């Protein structure tokens, strides 16, 4: 094991609001988590992420840099956020200028194992389990599938 570097999960340089619950192990760094949030085990939240009040992020989810999540959201188990769209045919390899932003509105629920590419999701949207969101969602509703499509409209709140 002389040629192996072991890195521990950590909480580093995180701005926490009041009454936040974090179940370890987690890897949280350079992010902001507002009041009354819940972060489950085996979650990674990277730098330049903002999580709004009363949002719950369940286990095994990955929230990459440049994601903003609104208030009163639910992020299911194993949800993956993507910020690198392989714009030149392969990974950006650390070139953050090629990464894209994601904005999740308020009162959004994202089902387990969904994949969220760099998009904007409006308030009061529901994303089904296993959905792949490839385009902006601008209308409250229930979306499912790959790519995610509107299944049913919801009344604006």
Q: Is 60 a catalytic residue?
A: yes
From the candidates 60, 77, 103, 107, which is the catalytic residue? 60
How many C-alpha atoms does 69 have within 13 Å on its Cβ side?
29
Could you tell me the CA-to-CA distances from 5 to 27, 69, 85, 114 in Å, in that order? 17, 33, 29, 31
Please report how many Cα atoms fall inside a 13 Å half-sphere around the Cα of residue 71, on the Cβ side.
Answer: 5
Closest CA to 48 of 87, 98, 100, 114: 100
Both tokens of 16, joined, read 């926490």
Edge-to-edge strands, sheet with 132-133: 11-12, 27-29, 44-45, 62-63, 80-81, 115-116, 132-133
Element (H, E) at 63: strand 62-63
Which residues are catalytic, by number? 60
């Amino acid at each position: 094991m002389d040629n192996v570097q072991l890195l521990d999960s950590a909480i580093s340089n995180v701005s926490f609001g009041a009454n936040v619950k974090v179940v370890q192990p987690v890897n949280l760094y350079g992010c902001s988590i507002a009041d009354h949030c819940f972060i489950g085990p085996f979650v990674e939240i990277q730098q330049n992420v903002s999580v709004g009040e009363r949002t719950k992020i369940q286990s095994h989810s990955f929230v990459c840099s440049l994601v903003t999540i609104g208030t009163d959201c639910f992020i299911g188990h194993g949800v993956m956020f993507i910020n690198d769209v392989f714009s030149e045919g392969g990974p950006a390899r650390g070139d953050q200028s090629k990464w894209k932003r994601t904005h999740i509105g308020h009162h959004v629920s994202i089902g387990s194992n969904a994949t969220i590419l760099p998009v904007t999701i409006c308030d009061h949207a529901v994303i089904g389990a296993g959905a792949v969101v490839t385009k902006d969602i601008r209308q409250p509703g229930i979306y499912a599938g790959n790519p995610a499509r509107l299944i049913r409209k919801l009344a604006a709140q």
